[in-house]
Every structure is written in structure tokens, then in C-alpha cells.
Amino acid sequence: MDAIDNLKAGFMEFRTSEFLKKSDIWDNLIENGQDPKIAVVACSDSRVDPGIMMNTDAGEIFVIRNVANLVPPHDEAGGYHGTSAALEFAVQHLKVEHIIVLGHAFCGGIHSLFGPRKTGVEGHFFIPPWMSIAEPAHRRVTATMPDAPEAEQVRACEKGAILVSLENLMSFSCIRRKVQDRTLSLHGWYVDMSKGTLSCYNPDSNQFELVS
Ligand SMILES: [Zn+2]
């Protein structure tokens, strides 16, 4: 069976085992619409699917995926702001109560910040300007741990980029207002699938703390 047929077969299996068995959940979602309380900004990386990793049901999380799970700063200039549009929808229309920025170890996007910069050439039109969102995290790492092995620097940058995205979330006035009103909470999470671990950022300790 080729990869595409495998997906079709997967859907038919899902239809029997999940869709038909949980028809009450699906009926409710269709009749009343979606009402997720949590939005997740995750990486497009095929290894870190939030729904699979968090074992969620349909309708439970509103997922926004992009290269390196980045949130750009608020920008009113014209453009196709896919992540910002999805965040606006989650906050203003779905009225989610939580936004989780879900970073991960071995992120190719973050790793690209440590290599040679090629911008504006075939294959590199969109990635470098997008990844520049995480540049403050990269600068922080190279300034504070210049002698650490690259792998260690990349791991630190992956976590630092989550904090940059949390800061950028606060540049959206609709998000800032709701955070101040305590109707919306922001979270920074980090998964390392080489170990199967989840860590959550604690602003009090300024550390990612292992969930056990
Ligand atoms: Zn990634």
C-alpha cells in the first residue's frame, strides 16, 4: 500500500473506530459548532502532532501549526498573516481561555538559525524571513552560552523561541486585554520526543519544569 492509500485506509479505520463509536460527540460538534477552550500553536513537524501527543478528542483543541511554532508580532501592514488570523479567530470568535505555544526538541526551523543564512534564493524565499521572528532567542543563546556545544545551544534556542512567541502574543491588543482581565492564560510548553517528556514554562522560576 502506498503512502496515499495508507491515509485513505486510515480514514476508513477512523470512521469505524472513532467516528461511528463516538457519534454523540460528532453530532454535538456539528449541531452546536466547535467550542474549544484551548488554542495550541505547534510546529508543522510531522513528529509532534498535538492531538496525538495530548490524546485529545475532536473539538478539544484549536490547533495552529507553522514552521517552528512561532507567533509573529502584531503587524497591521498588509500581508497574508495566517497565524495572526488564526489567533484572532481563536481569541475573538471562539473565545478560547488558554493559548499554549508548544515547542519541541530537534526543531528543523530553529536549527536553521544556526546555519548559513541564504535568503531570496530558490528554496529559501519564505523560511529565513519567517524564522527571523525567533532571532532574539538566537541572539540571547549565542551571547549567553557561546562555548556550549551546538546541540545544547539549539535546545536552549527552541525554548527561548517559545518565550519570544509568548511576548509576541502580548503585542496583540485583543490578547493583552484578555490576559489582563484574566479571561485568557498563556502557556509555554516544550516536548522532547527523544525522551518522551513534556516541560512547562514557569514564569516564577523562569524555567521549563518537567511534568511527571
Ligand atoms: Zn519544529
Q: In angstroms, what is the span from residue 67 Cα to ligand 1's centroid?
A: 6
| pLDDT value at residue 128 | 93
pTM above 0.75, yes or no: yes
DSSP E strand boundaries for 59-128? 61-66, 98-104
DSSP 19: I
Q: In angstroms, what is the span from residue 110 Cα to ligand 1's centroid?
A: 7
Q: In angstroms, what is the span from residue 148 Cα to ligand 1's centroid?
A: 21
Residue-wise pLDDT for 36-80, tens only, equals 999 999 999 999 999 999 999 999 999 999 999 999 999 988 789
Average pLDDT of the segment spanning 112-125: 84
| pLDDT value at residue 77 | 86
Query: For residue 196, is pLDDT > 90?
Result: yes
Q: In angstroms, what is the span from residue 30 Cα to ligand 1's centroid?
A: 32
Query: For residue 29, is pLDDT > 90?
Result: yes
Task: Give the chain's mean pLDDT.
Answer: 96
Q: Please state, for a pLDDT cut of 70, what percent of the chain lies above it.
A: 100
Query: For residue 102, is pLDDT > 80?
Result: yes
| pLDDT value at residue 40 | 98
Sketch out the chain's domains with CATH numbers.
1-33 (no CATH), 34-210 (3.40.1050.10)
Instruction: Say how far apart CA 64 and CA 66 lie, in whole Å.
Output: 7
Residue-wise pLDDT for 160-186, tens only, equals 999 999 999 999 999 999 999 999 999
Cα three-residue angle 38-42-44, rounded to 5 degrees? 140
Q: In angstroms, what is the span from residue 27 Cα to ligand 1's centroid?
A: 34
| pLDDT value at residue 59 | 95
Query: For residue 31, is pLDDT > 80?
Result: yes
Average pLDDT of the segment spanning 71-99: 95
Query: For residue 1, is pLDDT > 80?
Result: no
Average pLDDT of the segment spanning 89-103: 98
CA distances 60 to 38, 90, 180, 194, Å, are 7, 12, 24, 26
Q: In angstroms, what is the span from residue 129 Cα to ligand 1's centroid?
A: 16
Which residues have their alpha-adjacent CB atom under 5 A from ion ligand 1? 43, 45, 68, 107, 109
